Amino acid sequence: MIRQMDLVEAVKGYNPAADEDAINRAYVYAMQKHGNQTRASGDPYISHPVEVAFKLTKYKLDTSSIITALLHDTVEDTDATLEEIEKLFGLEVRGLVDGVTKLNRLEVKSESTKQAENFRKLLVAMSEDLRVLLVKLADRLHNMETLDHIKKPEKRARIARETLDIYASLAERIGMRRMKEELQDLAFKELFPEARESIVNRLEYLRKKGRTKVKKAEELIQQMLIDGGLERAKVTGREKKPYSIWKKMEGKNVAFEELSDIVAFRILVDNIGECYQALGIIHEKYHTIPGRFKDYISTPKVNGYQSIHTSVIGPNQQRVEIQIRTREMHRIAEYGVAAHWSYKQGAPINTDGKQYRWIRELLEILEQSAGPEEFLEHTKLEMYHDQVFCFTPKGDIIALPRGSTPIDFAFAVHSQVGFNCVGAKVNGRIVPLKHQLSNGDQVDIITAKTQTPSPTWERFVVTGKARSEIRKFIRTQQRNEYVTLGKAILAKTFKQEGHELKDKILEPALGIFQKKEVEDLYADVGEGLINRNQVYDAIFHTQKSEKAGMKNPFSIAKFRKRISKPSGHALPIKGLIPGMAIHFAGCCHAIPGDKIVGIVTTGKGITVHTMDCETLENFSDSPERWIDIAWDTSGQEESHVGRIRANISHETAALATVANVIAKEMGNISNLKITNRSNDFFEVIIDIEVRNARHLNNIIASLRAKEVIQSVDRM
């Protein structure tokens, strides 16, 4: 365990003015409060907060953050109070400890709701002070480092998935590349151990084989820069991390051997002018690869990252990626928000600037979402995409996820612009609202005061903000329609029985149906969730019983049981025509996660195809037969069959390796057929039962990581 004096020396090493006495007191206080508590590993519990604090010293955080790390579990796990912490360490530390503590006080039912609620609380806390997020990231990193001490595999997998989905992405959003890569690698190791091991082994092989080549390339580029007048430039080779390689294999549908940028070169110079001077030297010497140049200096990423990226046919005629940045840009790229920290003043980071606009947008999404799960879905959309940079007519930059449309752009400018959008011009030309924007596009949104969002927009928007705003509008509109319809239905029912419908007469039924307001009851009747006769019976049975003076005339529990709907599994698809039969096309094997379309077939009902199915060309002249449908992810997960084609080396245990990988990724082979065979390779078609498209893609990526697999693709 890290000693008290080692922690203090680490802080004093970058901040000689740090309050040594306060750190010592916090260390002793935490040790006394945690007492004999132990972790799952058997280590004293105090070792955890001390490790978290020490990790934050690597990012040179202020004294209050270090003290918060030491105390972050005391209020939750011991008899310590916030009042006591304020008295001993001040109001600032109390606020930070309170922010971290609130994240742990969860009283929710399901694991999915717990994750969503956790993230919601984290967002609110970090919007007030980003240091809460920094402490939480360090806390999660140490928990991931000791994850193997948790006995239940499903719990380890859940924590690892949450780390990838939320914490690593947040670390990237605030520019903390090193933290992000550590979190990703630890989660990758837990979720896909075989794929990671295979990639690590291949990297080790390449490292031994190419160490000399990389060193020579470094020296060659260094000399070129010196000859060009950049004597202080520094060149280093940088190897991609295993998780980054695996994601590129999965996303680009390529094998390990096809990746050209496993090793990239980084050039560090003193100022921005020298960045472009170095770029000129490189481009003068080597042929550039079209479409592989990105200037993040003139147009920084949302998290503040700045660098020039270019790919060239470099030394030894190899494709290489080269990154050029100043030393200050490199420091910010490594430490992100922590690089801007003014630890001497200890003032919280101002989140009002453009760099933290995404935090404010997530808070807006929080207000629009119907529940924690929907909020989590929308914020994932907001955080996890590569970006394109577009411009308003005035020249302002709007950063959007790749694949965004003019509707996404409109909502990014302002919610009201999105609501009133009727059309768009991209680079002066009118385009459909489904048009995908590209880097550098100038977008002019055409609005009309009478326009309202169309429900079809939700099908093609990409950003979480746009989707949450559209859904909120649709929910409000639908609710108003259901309320009007429900009121009309009940009014007719009451009139037939000789009664006049008034809001007050319905109030006794609110408790029975567990509704807060009469409008909620109208809405459920209009939507068909509650039967009109059930409402009538609930009211007039109660009234008759009360008049008769019975003690327990009407059992609410029994009535609720009688009106409860029978459980059943609905089809996992939205947008179907009620009453029509449905079946899945055998030509494309659509599974949840795929973009799908329905085709009305005479005598068969609706046939579901993937959007990229070649068979759809046969229906291009019959648009009236196409139905806009989508997967309904709100129900229980079921198994679906995905089909892949694999080329496998003809060697011992090759097929066993394939089956083993599929089994370890929780897939189930339902059919296998060898379609072609030679002395060196054989081709197989495999049907695999999977949960969704993401599950199938994970299996494909894990198969590609195996040396016996030459290629594998989804059919």
pLDDT at 680: 82
pLDDT digits (tens, 9 = 90+) for 541-551: 655 554 544 44
Domain boundary among 272, 305, 339: 339
pLDDT at 280: 94
- My answer on whether 221 and 238 are in the same domain is yes
- Say if residue 54's pLDDT is above 90: yes
Token pair 């907060």 is at which residue? Answer: 49
Q: Is 360 left (phi over 0), alpha (psi -120 to 50) or beta?
A: alpha
Is 150 part of a structural domain of the chain?
yes
- My answer on whether 151 and 28 are in the same domain is yes
- Say if residue 388's pLDDT is above 60: yes
- My answer on whether 43 and 178 are in the same domain is yes
- My answer on whether 134 and 163 are in the same domain is yes
Label residue 116 by pLDDT band (50, 70, 90): low
pLDDT at 604: 59
Tell which residue, 314, 316, 328, has the closest CA to residue 275.
328
- My answer on whether 29 and 149 are in the same domain is yes
Whole-number Å distance between alpha carbons of 48 and 1: 9
Mean per-residue pLDDT, 67-76: 90
Please give the mean pLDDT across all residues of the chain.
Answer: 79
More confident position, 109 or 632: 632
pLDDT digits (tens, 9 = 90+) for 420-436: 898 999 888 888 888 88
Label residue 125 by pLDDT band (50, 70, 90): low
Is 357 part of a structural domain of the chain?
no
Which of 167-171, 249-253, 390-394, 492-496 has the lowest average pLDDT?
249-253
Is 369 part of a structural domain of the chain?
no
Collapsed DSSP state (helix, strand, coil) of residue 369: coil
More confident position, 632 or 346: 632
* Three-state SS annotation for 310-322: EEEECHHHCEEEE
- My answer on whether 223 and 275 are in the same domain is yes
pLDDT digits (tens, 9 = 90+) for 253-271: 667 766 666 778 999 999 9
Label residue 440 by pLDDT band (50, 70, 90): confident
pTM for the model stands at 0.57
- My answer on whether 627 and 679 are in the same domain is no
- My answer on whether 663 and 622 are in the same domain is no
pLDDT at 183: 93
Domain boundary among 529, 563, 597: 563
- My answer on whether 201 and 185 are in the same domain is no
Identify whether the C-beta of residue 597 lies closer than 8 Å to the C-beta of residue 616.
yes
Domain boundary among 513, 529, 563: 563
Label residue 368 by pLDDT band (50, 70, 90): very low
Mean per-residue pLDDT, 477-503: 80
Whole-number Å distance between alpha carbons of 196 and 314: 29
pLDDT digits (tens, 9 = 90+) for 661-692: 898 888 889 888 888 888 888 889 998 988 88
Whole-number Å distance between alpha carbons of 289 and 553: 82
- My answer on whether 202 and 319 are in the same domain is yes
pLDDT at 543: 52
In the chain, the number of structural domains is 5
Tell which residue, 463, 408, 413, 414, has the closest CA to residue 435.
408
Q: For residue 167, what is the domain's CATH number?
A: 1.10.3210.10
- My answer on whether 186 and 232 are in the same domain is no
Exposed e or buried b per residue across 311-326, where buried means at least 16 C-beta atoms within 10 angstroms of its C-beta = bbebbeeeebbbbbbb
> Which positions are annotated as active-site residues?
76-77
pLDDT digits (tens, 9 = 90+) for 308-327: 999 888 877 778 889 999 99
pLDDT digits (tens, 9 = 90+) for 524-578: 777 667 777 777 777 776 555 545 444 444 454 555 555 444 433 445 677 765 5
* Range with the largest mean pLDDT of 119-123, 262-266, 444-448: 444-448
Range of the domain at 616: 582-631
More confident position, 211 or 358: 211
Q: DSSP state, 446? A: E
Label residue 637 by pLDDT band (50, 70, 90): low
DSSP structure string for 656-669: HHHHHHHHHTT-EE
Which of 1-10, 19-28, 262-271, 596-605 has the lowest average pLDDT?
596-605
Mean per-residue pLDDT, 450-463: 81
Token pair of 142 as six digits: 């140490």
Whole-number Å distance between alpha carbons of 152 and 148: 9
